[in-house]
């Protein structure tokens, strides 16, 4: 008899997903009976996000030993997050122009969907400084948690000896949280099975047929960006590392992103993959990844870009070069502001469509049209979001000398 734990985790998750699709199709609406398994699994991962980010970030800063290093790490991280997102959006726009997915699509019969007001940028920036760090933790406001954890880590570094007990406490707490994450990952096959079964049983993957052109453009853009930008350019050309090893190391996190459609729910697994498989030292993993899960969304960027052009094509709006620049700029902002939860970008893309002069009614019709098909595309774009975070963290770790090539080339078995 094959022993369960001897099978690599990613194989168990993948097999569970395939089984989930089959069960979903056969069982249909009845799958809601097992929906609780998926929900329970998501709750388990969400449970560790806040304490994991907080304690690993504080202990990561302490392990760095020199607060001034944080400056170069921060600048590099933000710069490369921005560049990769802009490239993702450009790939999306080029494909949307070349493939014309919106040509001939009739949106007049679509029931419009209310779109959400976007929070102004100034307000969003202000919220990075928490009025109360405990409230930030309770609300799960990741940027505010990062801000406070960085300050606490730096202060512990600068006070030296008196800070030691708290520093030790943080590093053992980080160990404990990573252990809990490891246990939760063992439940992933069951969670992924239930989540996928529910999707296949209720939404029906077949519904995707109606938006085939759009879906194909999104799929091609996701794959091209992941393989060309992150596999070839960052791994091969810039870092001179094996792209295969990167994708192998990132596999568990990408599968998790696919089944949960949420970068933030995937965060604990991304952090564990970065450290155990990609050789990213804790200081980089604990700073770059939580930040990336919150603000770096390559997949979301390319998706919003494609849908906007799709909408313009469907309504016969001619776009010129300046319009494309406007779309790229506002999509970057929207991708930064999108929450790392399922379907989040769907309700923010109206802000981008506004910039090219689409009316609120037209925006609502486009969102209403893609609403039903969003989930499968969300799964894909979340994989790209998470893959991008992992690739950037590997690059930053290399540049900061916080990279272990041994581990990257021979990842620990899990």
Q: C-beta of 253: minimal distance to ligand ASP in Å?
A: 12
By CB under 6 A, tell whether 277 contacts ligand ASP: no
By CB under 6 A, tell whether 263 contacts ligand ASP: yes
By CB under 6 A, tell whether 261 contacts ligand ASP: yes
**Assigned token pair, 31:** 């799958």
* Contact set for ligand ASP, span 304-363 (CB under 6 A): 338, 340-345
Q: C-beta of 261: minimal distance to ligand ASP in Å?
A: 5
By CB under 6 A, tell whether 112 contacts ligand ASP: no
Q: C-beta of 68: minimal distance to ligand ASP in Å?
A: 32
Q: Crossing angle of helices 298-314/212-224, nearest 10°?
A: 150
By CB under 6 A, tell whether 51 contacts ligand ASP: no
Give the C-alpha separation, 21 to 30, whole Å: 13
Give the C-alpha separation, 275 to 67, whole Å: 21
By CB under 6 A, tell whether 253 contacts ligand ASP: no
Selection from 151, 153, 114, 115 nearest residue 130 by Cα: 151
Q: C-beta of 138: minimal distance to ligand ASP in Å?
A: 21
DSSP 239: T
Size of the site for ligand ASP (CB under 6 A): 16
DSSP 161: G
By CB under 6 A, tell whether 296 contacts ligand ASP: no
By CB under 6 A, tell whether 382 contacts ligand ASP: yes
Residue whose pair of structure tokens reads 């202990």 in the numeric block = 59
By CB under 6 A, tell whether 221 contacts ligand ASP: no
**Assigned token pair, 30:** 């009845």
Residue whose pair of structure tokens reads 């041994």 in the numeric block = 406
Dihedral pair phi/psi, residue 403, rounded to 5°: -125, 140
Residues in the chain: 414
Q: C-beta of 378: minimal distance to ligand ASP in Å?
A: 5
Binding segment toward ligand ASP, per CB under 6 A, in 53-61, 244-252, 258-266, 387-395: 258-266
Contact between 147 and 129 under an 8 Å Cβ cutoff? The reply is: yes
The residues that touch ligand ASP, with contacts defined as CB under 6 A, are 261-263, 297, 300, 338, 340-345, 378, 381-382, 385
């Amino acid at each position: 008899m094959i022993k369960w734990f001897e099978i690599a985790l990613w194989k168990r998750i993948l097999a569970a997903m395939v089984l989930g699709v089959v069960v979903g199709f056969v069982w249909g609406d009845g799958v809601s009976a097992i929906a609780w398994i998926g929900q329970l699994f998501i709750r388990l991962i969400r449970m560790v996000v806040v304490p994991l980010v907080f304690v690993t970030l504080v202990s990561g800063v302490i392990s760095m030993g020199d607060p001034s290093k944080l400056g170069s790490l921060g600048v590099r991280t933000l710069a490369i997050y921005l560049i990769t997102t802009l490239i993702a959006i450009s790939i999306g726009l080029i494909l949307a122009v070349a493939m014309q997915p919106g040509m001939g699509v009739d949106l007049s019969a679509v029931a419009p969907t209310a779109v959400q007001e976007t929070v102004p940028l100034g307000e969003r920036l202000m919220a990075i400084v928490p009025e109360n760090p405990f409230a930030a933790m309770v609300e799960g406001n990741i940027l505010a948690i990062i801000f406070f954890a960085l300050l606490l880590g730096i202060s512990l570094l600068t006070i030296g000896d008196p800070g030691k007990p708290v520093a030790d406490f943080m590093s053992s707490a980080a160990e404990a949280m990573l252990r809990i994450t490891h246990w939760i990952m063992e439940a992933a096959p069951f969670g992924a099975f239930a989540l996928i079964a529910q999707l296949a049983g209720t939404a029906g993957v077949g519904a995707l047929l109606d938006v085939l052109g759009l879906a194909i453009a999104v799929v091609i853009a996701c794959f091209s960006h992941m393989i060309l930008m992150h596999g070839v350019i960052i791994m091969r050309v810039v870092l001179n590392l094996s792209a295969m090893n990167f994708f192998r190391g990132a596999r568990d996190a990408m599968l998790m992103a696919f089944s949960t459609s949420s970068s933030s729910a995937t965060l604990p697994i991304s952090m564990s993959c970065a450290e155990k498989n990609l050789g990213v030292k804790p200081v980089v993993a604990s700073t770059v990844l939580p930040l990336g899960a919150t603000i770096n969304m390559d997949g979301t960027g390319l998706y919003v870009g494609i849908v906007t052009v799709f909408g313009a094509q469907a309504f016969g709006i001619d776009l010129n070069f300046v319009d494309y620049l406007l779309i790229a700029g506002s999509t970057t902002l929207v991708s930064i502001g999108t929450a790392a939860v399922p379907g989040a970008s769907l309700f923010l893309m109206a802000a981008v469509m506004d910039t090219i002069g689409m009316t609120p009614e037209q925006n609502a019709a486009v969102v209403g049209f893609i609403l039903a098909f969003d989930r499968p595309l969300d799964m894909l774009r979340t994989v790209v979001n998470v893959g991008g975070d992992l690739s950037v963290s590997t690059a930053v770790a290399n540049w900061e000398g916080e990279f272990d090539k041994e581990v990257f080339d021979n990842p620990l078995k899990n």
